[in-house]
Structure 1
Amino acid sequence: MQPLLLLHGAIGSMDQLIPLRDELSTEFDVYSFNFPGHGGTEPFESFSMDAFAKATADFIKTHQLKNLPVFGYSMGGYVALYLESMYPSTFQKVITLGTKYEWSEEIAAKEIKMLRPDVIEQKLPAFAQQLANRHGAMEWKNVLDKTAAMLLGLGKHPLLSSAVLQKITCPTLVLLGEKDNMVSTEETQNAAAALVNGQYELLPNTAHPIEQISVSTLAEKIKDFCLRH
Structure 2
Amino acid sequence: MSDSSTKPANLNVYIQGQGFPILGLHGHPGSGRNLSVFTNHLSKRYQTFAPDLRGYGKSRCHGNFAMSDHLSDLETLLDRFEIEKCLILGWSLGGILAMEMALRLPQRVTGLILVATAARPRGNHPAVTWQDNLYTGVAGILNYIQPSWQWNIDTFGKRSLFRYLIQQHTPTAYNYIAQEAAQAYLQTSPAATRALYTALRAGYNRLADLQQINCPSLVLAGEQDRHITAESSLETARHLKNTQWHCYPNTAHLFPWEIPQQVLSDIDSWLDKHPQAIG
Q: Same fold (TM over 0.5)?
A: yes
Matched, 1:134 2:151: no
Structure 1: give runs of 5+ residues left out of the alignment: none
RMSD across aligned C-alpha pairs, in angstroms? 3.0
Aligned counterpart for 2:51 among listed residues 33, 38, 43: 33
1:43 maps to 61
Structure 2 distance, partners of 1:62, 1:119, is 46
Aligned counterpart for 1:173 among listed residues 200, 215, 218: 218
Tell me the alpha carbon deviations over residues 70-106 of structure 1, each in whole angstroms, 9 at most, x when there is no partner: 1101110000101211221231000111014325xxx
1:185 maps to 230
Tell me the alpha carbon deviations over residues 176-201 of structure 1, each in whole angstroms, 9 at most, x when there is no partner: 01232222232222211111223222
Q: How far has the Cα of 1:120 moved from its partner?
A: 8.2
Secondary structure at the counterpart of residue 10 of structure 1 = coil
1:7 maps to 25
Matched, 1:56 2:101: no
Matches within 5 A, 1:102-121: 102-103=120-121
Q: Does the Cα contact within 8 Å between 1:70 and 1:93 map onto a contact in 2?
A: yes
Structure 2 distance, partners of 1:219, 1:34, is 22
Structure 2: give runs of 5+ residues left out of the alignment: 1-18, 145-177, 275-279
2:222 counterpart letter in structure 1: G
**Pair 26,209 (structure 1): closer, same or farther in 2 beyond 3 Å:** same
Matched, 1:226 2:271: yes
Q: Does the Cα contact within 8 Å between 1:73 and 1:97 map onto a contact in 2?
A: yes
2:16 maps to none
Structure 1 distance, partners of 2:196, 2:185, is 17
Matched, 1:124 2:136: yes
Structure 2 distance, partners of 1:101, 1:26, is 30
Secondary structure at the counterpart of residue 92 of structure 1 = strand
Report the TM-score when normalising by structure 2.
0.67
**Pair 180,55 (structure 1): closer, same or farther in 2 beyond 3 Å:** same
Deviates more, 1:185-194 or 1:126-135: 126-135
1:71 counterpart letter in structure 2: L
Report the TM-score when normalising by structure 1.
0.80
What's the % identity of the aligned pairs?
23
1:151 maps to 197
Count residues with an aligned counterpart: 217
